[in-house]
Amino acid sequence: MTGLLAAGCGGGEKEATDESAGKSVSGAHPVSVTDCRGVRTTFSKAPERIVTSNASSLELLLRLGAGDRVIGTGFPPGKGTLPGELDAEAQKVKVLSDTVIPKEKLLGSGADLYLDTFASMTMGGGMGDAPTEEEFKAAGIKHMSLKSTACAATGKGALTDLSAVEADIISLGAVTGTGAKAKELVAGMQQTVDSVQKAVRGTAQSARPTYFFFDYDAGTKQPTVVCNRQIANAVITLAGARNVFAGCDGDHQQVGWEDVIAKNPDWIQLAVRNRGSEAANDTAYDEAEKWLKSNAATKGLKAVKEGHFLRIGSERTTIAGVGNADTVETIAKTLYPGKVG
């Protein structure tokens, strides 16, 4: 599966082996990028007809100024979910599917690039299987994935910074010829994170609050937690907190509520997926909080008894994007009042 240049395919180590590394700002082509396995794909020119898998990859292209080249998307953002002018631009993009784009529709879309947020997504609901790389090639579509998310499960070492996300942005800027904007976006992210790091630097690791990412939409019967290779682990760590499941080697894992009780976190993020409006999101947050307070297994948790909840959307924490840096700041402002921002 073809992907973007990233840092160590899930780790925090920077690499600059792709040809895109030296062309990120100049906009020069050809540009070559590699996937999680090191398979190289070369772009002789910037893509002109792009289809995105979901709102996350669409937002990145909009921020880079390449939104006019997006001809369709799956998992579209709800109206008002993207900030400022990006929302108006996003609403103009043709919706190819409200969920995963069906295989035949994707292959027949006329795209020259399919930008995928994940390494693979099963085409459910009777829509058929995901296209193979051979089928993408036959349709004239280059297939790229955001390596910071696509390579997470097979990466090496814990993800504790946003270098992989930043590398995705730089590489996508090189491919689309928007390298200068990509560099600007990354600089802004680094400035935000550096400010937080400076503020929390004096707090010893052992004194930093413990933190549980409650993925409410993944189901409450058995919690799905974010492990040390997930971007959320980097976001939580950079914010000056300790992910209570950082010892889990991978991106996600299902655990039992007894495991959460044993961790007894200081803070809990009510991570709900965007419902399309602020009112709908607030309702979802209320539901998640109510569940924790009323469930026999969780109502005795320290964070629940003290009302230590953070209402932060799931996507901004777990999926690659400029918003990851903003989430770092948001978490830190709550955990370190008066020190951050």
Query: How much is the average pLDDT of 245-272?
Result: 95
Q: Are the beta carbons of 162 and 324 closer than 8 angstroms?
A: yes
In this predicted structure, what is the pLDDT of residue 11? 40
Q: What is the dihedral of CA 219, 251, 169, 97, to 10 degrees?
A: -40
Q: Are the beta carbons of 223 and 254 closer than 8 angstroms?
A: yes
Confidence of residue 40 (pLDDT cuts 50, 70, 90): confident
| DSSP conformational letter for 95 | B
Query: Which residues are CB-contacts of 184 (< 8 A; sequence separation ≥ 6)?
Result: none
Reported as type and span, the H/E element at residue 169 is: helix 163-176
Distance CA 15, CA 156 (A): 14
In this predicted structure, what is the pLDDT of residue 44? 95
Distance CA 188, CA 191 (A): 5
Query: How much is the average pLDDT of 126-133?
Result: 69
Confidence of residue 267 (pLDDT cuts 50, 70, 90): very high
121, pLDDT greater than 50: no
Give the max Cα distance, the chain: 60
Give pLDDT tens digits for 81-104.
Answer: 788 899 999 999 999 999 999 999
- Any idea which residue has 């991106």 for tokens? 251
- Any idea which residue has 């020190």 for tokens? 339
Query: How much is the average pLDDT of 313-335?
Result: 94
Q: Are the beta carbons of 291 and 332 closer than 8 angstroms?
A: no
Query: Which residues are CB-contacts of 187 (< 8 A; sequence separation ≥ 6)?
Result: none
Query: Which residues are CB-contacts of 200 (< 8 A; sequence separation ≥ 6)?
Result: 208, 239, 240, 332, 336, 339, 340
- Any idea which residue has 């992907």 for tokens? 3
Distance CA 84, CA 195 (A): 24
Distance CA 51, CA 183 (A): 23
Q: Which domains does the chain have, with CATH numbers?
A: 19-186 (3.40.50.1980), 203-335 (3.40.50.1980)
242, pLDDT greater than 70: yes
Q: Which residues sit opposite 268 in a β-bridge?
A: 212, 309
Mean pLDDT, all residues of the chain: 88
154, pLDDT greater than 80: no
Cis upstream peptide for 337 (omega within 30°): no
Confidence of residue 276 (pLDDT cuts 50, 70, 90): confident
